[in-house]
């Protein structure tokens, strides 16, 4: 890895463990994004200044184990009353458009209630409204699900099922569940992206992809996924992966990117063959030494950068405690991998930071001058990195 730490300004926004996820969102209606993590937000003009608390970490964010009768809780020591909580506040947050004023969509952990939070003009905490509850939420996606921009929350209501949730006309009512399919949903591994030459997003799981037959509110058509590894071995599915991201170079089929959330490995897949029953991808390893690469983002490179896109990821430090990490003493890296449209061109890996890592969700964006900015939140605190 290339040490590029000197090319980044590093700000410790909070040294405390406040959340395993963060986002950029306009929290006060001034048209400028703030940094959101847990129950508070910070101004990006002065992230070292005091934060604004806008909600409480309720007991519902730390529920009894919801793994079901087939799996006992392996992490009781990480829940309330037995040590530091495994999760705090929301693990995923997104700005929620279409509301009268700032609003935030928030996802906790398995069996937690999902809520959207409404900004209040009067001083005090934001008002939370329940969307649904009872699912598996370690991999969730809120994004557009058709070329018209219809947004929905894609998740696993119960393994192995996949559904997406849509707001009702009355924003204060629970959201409508639209079943997608009965296969592919698991503890980890979910993604949404256009993977063919058209602009219709597919829902991706580690074992299959789904595409609608015209109406996204009806069940989607399933296609199996297979991979060819570096030894030319063909196997079903993509393996043990977390969030699945897509990126298209030009007008051809998209490449897929994912990492192992609790093992080791960061991979790229390029389409080798496709028919109506199966899509076969050629896999290439981008990184294989860092454990628990639990969160991932892919963004295009600028015209001035020597690569075509960046894959950003890092170690989720002590995700379920040190006893459940293949490398508990491993460096909590945050790094990016520069990739090319031609997958045979060697990737370029750069270390951004070696004392933070990622959580379950992090935020990345381009500033107006095209510099990259990354925010992370995990058990090591909240950090902001701005390219110099």
Query: SS3 sequence, 353-381?
Result: ECCCCCCCECEEEECCCCCEEEEEEECCE
State the pLDDT at residue 90: 67
Cα-based distances in Å from 301 to 43, 91, 185, 305, 364: 26, 27, 32, 6, 13
- pLDDT value at residue 73: 52
Domain span at residue 370 reads: 2-387
CA distance 253 to 270: 8
Angle at the Cα of 303 from the Cα atoms of 301 and 307, rounded to 5 degrees = 45
pLDDT tens figures, 198-242: 999 999 999 999 999 999 999 999 999 999 999 999 999 999 999
Q: Model confidence at 58, in pLDDT bands (50, 70, 90)?
A: low
Q: Over the stretch 2-16, which tens digit does the pLDDT of each residue have?
A: 999 999 999 999 998
Among 192, 21, 9, 3, CA closest to 94: 21
How far apart are the C-alpha atoms of 186 and 288, rounded to whole Å?
23
Decide the pairing of beta strands 234-236 and 348-353.
unpaired
Confidence check: pLDDT of 88 > 80 = no
Reported pTM: 0.92
- Per the structure, the count of domains in the chain is 1
| pLDDT band at 81; cut points 50, 70, 90 | very low
Tokens of 10: 């590093």
CATH of the domain at 244: 2.130.10
Exposed/middle/buried for residue 249 (C-beta within 10 Å: 0-12, 13-18, 19+): middle
């Amino acid at each position: 890895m290339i040490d590029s730490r000197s090319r980044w300004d590093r700000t410790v926004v909070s040294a405390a463990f406040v959340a395993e996820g963060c986002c950029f969102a306009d929290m006060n209606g001034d048209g400028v994004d703030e940094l959101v993590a847990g129950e508070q937000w910070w101004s990006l003009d002065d992230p070292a200044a005091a934060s604004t608390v806008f909600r409480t970490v309720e007991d519902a964010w730390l529920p009894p184990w919801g793994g079901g009768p087939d799996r006992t809780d392996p992490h009781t020591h990480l829940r309330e009353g037995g040590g530091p909580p495994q999760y705090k506040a929301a693990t995923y947050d997104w700005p929620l458009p279409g509301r009268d004023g700032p609003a935030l969509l928030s996802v906790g952990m398995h069996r937690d209630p999902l809520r959207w939070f409404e900004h209040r003009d009067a001083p005090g905490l934001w008002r939370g409204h329940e969307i649904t509850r009872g699912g598996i939420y370690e991999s969730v996606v809120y994004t557009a699900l058709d070329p018209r921009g219809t947004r929905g929350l894609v998740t696993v209501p119960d393994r192995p099922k996949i559904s997406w949730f849509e707001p009702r006309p009355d924003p204060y009512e629970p959201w409508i569940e639209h079943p997608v399919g009965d296969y592919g949903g698991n503890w980890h591994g979910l993604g949404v992206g256009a993977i063919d030459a058209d602009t219709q997003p597919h829902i991706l799981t580690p074992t299959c992809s789904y595409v609608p037959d015209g109406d996204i509110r009806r069940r989607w058509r399933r296609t199996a996924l297979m991979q060819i590894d570096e030894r030319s071995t063909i196997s079903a599915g993509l393996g043990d992966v977390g969030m699945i991201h897509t990126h298209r170079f030009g007008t051809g089929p998209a490449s897929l990117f994912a990492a192992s959330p609790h093992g080791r490995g960061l991979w790229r897949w390029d389409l080798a063959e496709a028919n109506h029953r199966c899509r076969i991808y050629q896999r290439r390893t981008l990184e294989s030494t860092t454990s628990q690469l639990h969160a991932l983002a892919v963004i295009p490179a600028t015209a001035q950068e020597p690569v075509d896109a960046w894959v950003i990821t890092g170690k989720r430090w002590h995700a379920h405690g040190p006893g459940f990490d293949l490398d508990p003493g491993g460096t909590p890296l945050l790094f990016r991998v520069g990739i090319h449209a031609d997958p045979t061109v060697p990737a370029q890996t750069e270390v951004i930071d070696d004392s933070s890592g990622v959580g379950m969700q992090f935020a990345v964006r381009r500033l107006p001058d095209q510099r990259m900015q990354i925010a992370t939140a995990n058990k090591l605190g909240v950090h902001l990195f701005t390219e110099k």
